[in-house]
Amino acid sequence: MSSWLQKQVNEQPDHPAFYWEDEVWSFAEVAQEIKRWTSLFSIEIPSKEKRVGLFSRNSKEMYFSILALWELGKELVLLNTHLSLQELHYQLTDAKVNMVVVSTENISRLSELNQITLIEMTQPNITGSSSFEHLSGYQLDATASIMYTSGTTGNPKGVVQCFSNHLASALATQENMAITEEDCWLCPVPLFHISGLSIIIRQLALGCSLRLYNKFDAEIVTNDLAENRGTVISVVSIMLQELLENYPNKGYSEKFKAMLLGGGPISPKALEKCESYGIPVIQSYGMTETCSQVVALSFEDAAKKMGSAGRPLLGMTLKIVDEEEKNRLPNEVGEILLKGKNVIRQYLNGERWRAVKWTTDGWFKTGDMGYLDEDGYLYLVSRLSELIISGGENIYPTEIEHVLQEFPGVKEVAVVGESDEKWGAVPVAYIVGETKITVENINKFAKKYLARYKLPKRIYLCHSLPKTANGKLAKHRLTSIEREAFLSK
């Protein structure tokens, strides 16, 4: 298959493709820029080096590097900039990466990793001479990207994403959200995460524009949404909360279509606030292994199915099973299994995971718990690994979190299990809120809405909660000594 970028150049060369701060490039101008970058990388990276690491926060250089390396047929190992040197060493070694394209600001940090060659991510000074025609990028069965899962249990796994996986995801999103070349997708999420990279894929495959941000800033994003600088935006729960706090009196531009919400559940209170402001929010469900969303609510269903992640998108099949992989009935909680073109076929160096993560007939086991209602809409309950079994009772943290989030003054909540001699495990809550809230008042409130065995046995007041680079809650850090750093003194 020819380059997706070249397809857009042929069909709409002058259409705005990429916005960065005060700069804008048409598809033809992006292509010219990429020619310069491919020339640079052709000199710096030997053709035998099939796999290349990328280490940078969002920037125009990061964007151009991704596209140029794809044009050269390279497999990209996208590295989280929040990782420690030890974690980076593990991932680079596991992926057998010898060369890393790195942003200027991070060169000194990565220079301590002596097993790799660093290539500075800097604007090329050479005139582009390479041609797209002889390049081998964008073969559907070829590996486009490798991302490592968070590794909350054991070492992280390399997720091998093919161009065909990415394309299936983009086409499913297009059908669900009616994306056209007239749309501009705002990207305040990291490009090294699937939430960010998938927006580049949509730009290339669907021809929409992309506006990239160095980081999420609620005031800047709010202003752009109000001034018609974007029609769609990808956010996680914490970003949505901040956008609600900054919602302008005049509202967003009339051309604004929707927020695509990923990265875990959001409180019913926040969703109700969105509805009162008339903000269309598409809740979605997906993961690194599915190349972004595979389940989402349509605009029409958002109000009547509040709290649901939606129905499977184009080309996806979903089922809920018990511990013996037998189908659950509607409204019965079980593990979510998926099948479809979005879903990866393998982990890197991961034959040992074949039987653990895939059924014998090819269903992918997500490790997430949920149920389908009578109409086939998915409701997420918890990560399987987060399930708290207390005295034989199954406790789902999300249910407790939703109750505690309703208490006045509470901003963020995380519920995790702590080991307990009597019950095996008990739920405990970590809460960020206004200074006036007290543990005693929260307990009194929770008793009105939760069964006794679901009540948090301990409540910790915190100044903040641990997050991943993408703004998702990193609950596993609350189950170790690390949690001390987040507690209010």
**Domain 170-384 = CATH 1.10.3720.10:** no
Residues in the chain: 489
Cα separation, 171 vs 155, whole angstroms: 32
Note the pTM of the prediction, 2 decimals. 0.83
pLDDT single digits (tens) 123-161 = 888 765 544 444 556 889 999 999 998 654 457 889 999
- Measured from the Cβ of residue 147, the count of other Cβ atoms closer than 10 Å reads 25
Q: Residue by residue, what is the 3-state secondary structure of 424-484?
A: EEEEEEEEEECCCCCHHHHHHHHHCCCCHHHCCCEEEEECCCCECCCCCECHHHHHCHHHH
pLDDT for the residue 153: 45
Q: Which two tokens stand for residue 282?
A: 């598409």
* Structure-derived torsion over alpha carbons of residues 333, 339, 344, 347, reported in degrees to the nearest 10: 60
Fold match between domain 4-139 and domain 387-486:
no
Question: Domain residues of the chain, as ranges?
Answer: 4-139, 170-384, 387-486
- Which long-range CB contacts under 8 A does 118-127 form with residues at least 24 apart? 119/41, 119/44, 119/45, 121/56, 121/59, 121/61, 121/62, 121/65, 122/61, 123/61, 124/36, 124/37, 124/39, 124/40, 126/36, 126/39, 126/40, 127/36, 127/39
Q: What is the pLDDT of residues 228-261, one digit of tens each?
A: 999 999 998 778 989 999 999 999 999 999 999 8
Question: Which of helix, strand or coil describes residue 110?
Answer: helix
pLDDT tens for 153-191 read 457 889 999 999 999 999 999 998 999 999 999 999 999
| Fold of the domain built from segment(s) 4-139 | Rossmann fold (3.40.50)
Over range 455-472, report the average pLDDT: 86
At 244, list the tokens: 């609600």
3-state secondary structure of 120: strand
Rg (CA), the chain: 23
The dotted CATH code for 387-486 is: 3.30.300.30
